[in-house]
């Protein structure tokens, strides 16, 4: 059994300003998507969960142990891919991972086998001896996951891993995260809704430092029923409509622009009710919370 429990966790960088405010959450195995606009407090919360920062108030329990008191109990089982993960370009993936395995204190006799296994898991086995300088962005992110897996962690934290990846690499990466979840807890922070749709069974939404939603993506979608419309407008009205309504997306059509609007009521008599998707539901949640997307 695995459990990560957050009890009224807050964190402030400066006196008064709470980057994370009173977050309570209990998580088990599976992929949890942590979604929120820029500045929501996701990275700060991830740093607290990975013991890089200490909660100002509240506590975090990893399998019942307070991580502020016994950080090593969590660290031993933690794999972490930070937002600004960098590689040594002159090394091959195999050399780089062997280096990190030694730094992490893996027993020397098990390093080669573990590096091989991690390369295999992320699908880089065939290119393991190429210079990292020649890797694509997606391949480097997979190296990032491979290094996070070296100690076979039960808690894997990945912060905005899909930023800068092309659609194919992004799809592959999402698939990989879902595959890794099995017996682990994977916390995936992102501001990209489709990352969640593709890989997370559970969703936590943060905005303005607060937890605004925790549950199944489908439940959030159900709560937005009756609050989404599809509306086709002339192209030259788009800027005005954007300024007046919450738009989850806009698509050019032969007759103008089709926009998805979320809100309390229909934006116009000629707007058609639409079945909300996760993007609509997320925007609706932020709207109700009174925060910008
Ligand atoms: N080192 C820091 N010093 C002071 N304030 C900070 C620091 N890092 C973040 N903040 C502030 O804390 C709040 C939460 O930021 P955080 O980076 O955790 O959000 P985020 O959801 O991860 O956003 P992003 O996607 O932009 O990284 C913001 O108001 C931010 O300006």
pLDDT, tens only, 187-199: 999 888 888 888 8
pLDDT under 50: residue ranges of the chain: none
CATH class for the region spanning 4-221: alpha beta
Predicted confidence at residue 85, as pLDDT, reads 84
Handedness of CA 282, 287, 289, 290 (dihedral sign): positive
CA distance 278 to 33: 12
**Distance from the Cα of residue 136 to its chain's centroid:** 21
Predicted confidence at residue 126, as pLDDT, reads 95
**Residue identifier of the C-alpha nearest atom 30 of ligand 1:** 39
Predicted confidence at residue 78, as pLDDT, reads 94
User: Looking at 28-134, which runs of residues are DSSP E strands?
Assistant: 30-35, 57-62, 65-66, 78-81
Predicted confidence at residue 208, as pLDDT, reads 93
Predicted confidence at residue 54, as pLDDT, reads 95
Annotated domain spans of the chain: 4-221, 226-275
CB 22 within 8 A of CB 14: no
Our answer on whether the CB atom of 1 is closer than 6 Å to any ligand 1 atom is: no
Our answer on whether the CB atom of 82 is closer than 6 Å to any ligand 1 atom is: no
**In 3-state terms, what secondary structure has residue 124?**
coil
Predicted confidence at residue 161, as pLDDT, reads 84
ipTM confidence score: 0.94
CA distance 129 to 121: 16
CB 35 within 8 A of CB 282: yes
Predicted confidence at residue 168, as pLDDT, reads 84
Predicted confidence at residue 199, as pLDDT, reads 83
Our answer on whether the CB atom of 52 is closer than 6 Å to any ligand 1 atom is: no
Task: Compute, in angstroms, the gap from residue 32 CA to the centroid of ligand 1.
Answer: 20
């Amino acid at each position: 059994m695995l459990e990560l429990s957050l009890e009224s966790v807050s964190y402030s960088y400066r006196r008064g300003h709470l980057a994370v405010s009173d977050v309570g959450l209990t998580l088990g195995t599976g992929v949890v998507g942590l979604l929120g606009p820029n500045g929501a407090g996701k990275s700060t919360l991830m740093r607290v969960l990975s013991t890089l920062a200490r909660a100002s108030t509240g506590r975090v329990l990893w399998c019942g142990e307070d991580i502020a008191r016994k950080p090593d109990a969590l660290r031993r089982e933690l794999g972490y891919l930070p937002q600004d993960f960098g590689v040594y370009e002159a090394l091959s993936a195999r050399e780089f991972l062997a280096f990190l395995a030694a730094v992490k204190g893996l027993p020397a006799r098990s390093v080669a086998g573990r590096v091989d296994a991690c390369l295999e898991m992320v699908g880089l086995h065939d290119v393991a001896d190429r210079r990292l300088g020649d890797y694509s962005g997606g391949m480097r992110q997979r190296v990032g996951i491979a290094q996070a897996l070296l100690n076979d962690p039960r808690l894997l934290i990945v912060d905005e891993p899909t930023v800068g990846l092309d659609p194919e690499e992004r799809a592959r990466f999402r698939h990989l995260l879902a595959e890794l979840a099995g017996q682990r807890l994977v916390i995936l922070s992102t501001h990209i809704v489709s990352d969640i749709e593709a890989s997370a069974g559970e969703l936590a939404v943060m905005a303005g430092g607060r937890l605004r939603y925790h549950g199944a993506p489908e439940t959030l979608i159900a709560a937005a029923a009756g609050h989404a419309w599809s509306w086709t407008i002339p192209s030259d009205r788009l800027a005005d409509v954007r300024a007046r309504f919450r738009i989850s997306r806009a698509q050019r059509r032969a007759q103008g622009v089709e926009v998805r609007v979320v809100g309390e009521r229909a934006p116009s008599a000629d707007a058609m009710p639409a079945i909300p998707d996760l993007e609509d539901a997320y925007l609706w949640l932020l709207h109700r919370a009174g925060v910008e997307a």
